[in-house]
Chains A and B, each alone.
Chain A
Amino acid sequence: MKDWTQEPAHSIADAVRSGQVTARLVAEQHLAAIARRNDLLKAYTDITASRALARADAIDAVRAQGQPLPPLAGVPFAVKNLFDVDGLVTRAGSKINRDHAPSQQDATLVTRLEAAGAVLLGALNMGEYAYDFTGRNAHDGNSLNPHDTARMTGGSSGGSGGAAAAGLAAITLGSDTNGSIRVPASLCGLFGLKPSYGGLSRAGTFPFIASLDHVGPLARSVKDLALAYDAMRGADPLDPVCTAGTAAPVTPPLDAGIKGLRIARAGGYFTRMGEPKAFAAVDLVARALGAEGSVEFPEAHRARAAAFIITMIEGSALHHDRIRARPADFDPEVRDRLIAGAMLPGDWYVKAQKFRRWFQAEALKLFAETDLILAPATPTSAPLVDQQTFVLDGQTLPVRPNLGIFTQPISFIGLPVVTVPVWPEQGMPIGVQIIAAPGQEALALRAAHWLENQRIVHAKQAS
């Protein structure tokens, strides 16, 4: 019998629509794979098996009636456990939020994916309250990298990376405040889409840093990212930053190729503080895309610093009461950052937000002369699970805050990014960011799809 956990979402949907396989069989195979592997990988924290099977049966019933099926019919998906799922407690990676009542309804994006025919399998492990780049979690266990279980998934959407890479879901949703989709996509060898700020609704998700929070998909193919994005896009009155209206769909132009696209590498800041393999991956992608020149995000090091400060202060404000009342119930790695953040002066925050507007204006000028900008996604491939430090440009630095040095300046100004996975001849994968102007997700996806078709980049499913 064919193993549908090995297939990308678009192949599963085609097969379900054509009657080659039932949605129920696809769901059952994925649930069986989760049962076999989740104790080790710790990708899922909640499994919604009966909901999944009921949903799959409903899709099969529609087909049996001869009615057309939607684009993601029967596609198994799962969501980072900061997304509300009807009947589940939204734990957001924490112990404390488990005292909350179960959600009464689904997050907007869960509703939209199900409306497109996708089948929810459950909720996924994450770094506590999303303040994390490692995928470690003191309460639920560390999510492990399916390509080498001695290594971390990256975070904070760690379970989203682990589940998609292991074939425990075809599409997963994560959140990305400073890099939390792009880091696990890089470390787990996946494609990831962090859309423009405000591009996808965050309604029904537990927040982290309201002024920086994004949500988006991870998958093993670019077409799956595009199909998922098209199923989820559109303004939402329940999210005050998701007001841009409906941009054009990104799936139809996916095969348009790279002709006419002006592509450059990010220079300066993005050429330092990484291991050689991070820059070799950018070299490979740049050569394939014919990106000969480079552009520089001015003062990118200050952008990273400003994002860091905004994150400390907004994060501490969000957890003001919890950090005072229940400090022992936090993951220690998160707690100590939040306590420090609560001590920082307010003028730092305002200055950082003023710098953000300056940096945005300067960065947007780059897109007058280029359509896409390439940069490393992470300074290294997946570190060991408990690794505390690494050496970048001769400096020994803590892993946890520094895995995001290349992602943080980009999300700081809300630019859309597709992360594409490069596989060195030996060893673990590492990602490259394809960065576009706001609202130009389609261009980044086009280039990523072309690279995938040329086999320059690809996702590999862990066995």
Chain B
Amino acid sequence: MNDATEVDVKTYADTMAKALGLPLTAEYAPQVEANLAVAFRLVQLVLDFPLPDEAEPAPVFAAQGNQA
């Protein structure tokens, strides 16, 4: 599903725009779809990289707040 060559970005964009209330006009659509295609291509590099379930995301919440 995340392979840009397999994703129909036009259908994806139309569906998501309807579901999320996004303004996808005929004028905007070509560049939105082009940007989606780039995102689908690039994210594959992230999703393909194996990390353990325990991998911690970079931002870390501090219960006491961030003290300057």
Contact = CB atoms under 8 A, between A and B. Distances in A.
B59 A211 contact: yes
Interface centre among A305, A339, A340 (most CB of B within 10 A): A340
Contact of B57 (A309, A343, A353): A353
A357 B22 contact: no
B33 to A, nearest CB: 8
Nearest to A245: B68
Contact of B58 (A327, A353, A401): A353
A301 B45 contact: yes
B31 to A, nearest CB: 4
B67 interface: yes
A332 interface: yes
Nearest to A359: B58
Contacts of A305: 42-43, 45-46
Contact of A357 (B12, B24, B34, B57): B57
Contacts of B25: 327
Given A335-B28, A353-B58, A239 B43 contact: no
Contacts of B16: 342-343
A241 interface: yes
**Interface band, chain A:** 35 or more
Interface in A315-354: 323-324, 327, 332, 335-337, 339-344, 348, 350-354
A312 B46 CA distance: 14
A292 interface: no
A80 interface: no
A378 B34 CA distance: 23
B43 A336 contact: no
A236 B68 contact: yes
B63 to A, nearest CB: 13
Contacts, number: 111
A348 B44 CA distance: 9
Interface string B25-42: 100100111111011001
A111 to B, nearest CB: 15
A343 B17 contact: yes
A360 B42 CA distance: 19
Output the residue of A301, A306, A323 with the most chain B CB within 10 A.
Answer: A306
A356 interface: yes
A354 B50 CA distance: 11
Interface of A, secondary structure class, is helix
A370 interface: no
Contacts of A344: 39, 43
Given A237-B68, A324-B21, A339-B32, A355 B39 contact: no
A68 to B, nearest CB: 29
A239 B68 contact: yes
A290 interface: no
B56 to A, nearest CB: 6
B46 A302 contact: yes
A434 interface: no
Contacts of B68: 235-240, 242-243
29 contacts: A235-B68, A240-B68, A242-B68, A305-B42, A305-B45, A305-B46, A306-B45, A308-B39, A308-B42, A309-B39, A309-B42, A323-B22, A327-B28, A332-B28, A336-B28, A339-B24, A340-B35, A342-B16, A343-B12, A343-B36, A344-B43, A348-B43, A351-B46, A352-B43, A353-B58, A353-B59, A355-B51, A356-B58, A357-B57
Interface of A: 211, 235-243, 299, 301-302, 304-306, 308-309, 312, 323-324, 327, 332, 335-337, 339-344, 348, 350-358, 360, 401
Given A305-B43, A339-B22, A356-B58, 11 more contacts: A238-B68, A239-B68, A240-B65, A240-B66, A327-B25, A327-B28, A335-B28, A343-B13, A343-B36, A354-B58, A355-B51
